[in-house]
């Protein structure tokens, strides 16, 4: 019975720390909130991010 309570407390503690950590990093003013990565392989130098007609476009070499 004590093992079950301890396991439950550890799980709840782990979940709560994850939620707090995610919330704190999102509120940082100069920290990027999005990260682009290609679907397959790798890409070279990303440049030329353009906002056009309500949508962002990212070009890379």
Whether 45 is a known active-site residue: answer yes
Domain ranges of the chain: 2-60
Identify the active-site residue in 45, 50, 51, 59.
45
Taking only the tens place, the pLDDT of each residue in 1-50 is 788 889 999 988 887 776 655 555 566 677 667 777 777 888 777 788 89
For residue 53, pLDDT beyond 90:
yes
Largest CA distance in the chain: 60
Question: pTM score > 0.75 for this model?
Answer: no
For residue 52, the model assigns a pLDDT of 92
- Beta carbons of 8 and 18 less than 8 angstroms apart: no
Which is higher by pLDDT, 19 or 58? 58
- Beta carbons of 50 and 57 less than 8 angstroms apart: yes
């Amino acid at each position: 019975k004590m093992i079950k309570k301890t396991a439950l407390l550890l799980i709840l503690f782990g979940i709560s720390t994850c939620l707090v950590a995610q919330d704190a990093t999102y509120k940082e003013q100069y920290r990027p909130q999005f990260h682009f990565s290609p679907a397959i392989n790798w890409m070279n130098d990303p440049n030329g991010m353009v906002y056009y007609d309500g949508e962002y476009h990212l070009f890379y070499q």
